[in-house]
Structure 1
């Protein structure tokens, strides 16, 4: 008898919690303003064709990973441009890439030229990335390097 009373009490308590949760959920509509704001801003498409907003890291050399952006600190992410400071880690590939060493260079990243993403027509994506090296830079690189971004 005692087991059935405990079972009944547990069932009633669970039902009450479920009712309260459903009432609370239906009484307060979800706040979608942050999601809608993110949808209206362009995204950065990565090597796996995934959408990114303010990524901390980003691979530039998709084929071999020998150039990547690390520790990105975004100071702006708007509808026309985005700006970040971070590091560009580049493999020197000496004597060849598998035996090479990565060197990090301070860099400012600018994303711009948003356009419609063919894969997701309702989404804008940045189509150009500009890296500005703050001092030292990889051998053979200009101080400012502009990359067209994949779609």
Structure 2
């Protein structure tokens, strides 16, 4: 049961953190209570001036947490999908906790979670490649 509670606390903290952060175009993420911009963390962007497959994930996640789904999808589809997946995990973990409380073993979710992880990875790579091809032909 402690694992389920840890999952719920962790998921809630991630969703809450994303809802508290602020995104300012084109690429600034701020801590609202300090009015401080977080540093750019993408090594490819900082060192080579090109986007990596994960560029835009954090901003997309934050936009989704603020309910700005269309902007989030435009920023990076995998970030939006990851946020939706985390939201869906909350009731799943509550269900797992109820199963444990009534004496039933928790159901395994490792296979679906691996498929989601693989899907997010493929989405990121396809998104990155399509952006590169689009910018190349402009």
* Max Rg structure: 1
Question: Whose helix proportion is higher, 1 or 2?
Answer: 2
Fold in common (TM above 0.5): no
The normalised TM-score by structure 2 is 0.21
The normalised TM-score by structure 1 is 0.19
Question: Whose strand proportion is higher, 1 or 2?
Answer: 1
1 or 2 for the larger relative contact order (CA 8 Å, sep ≥6)?
2
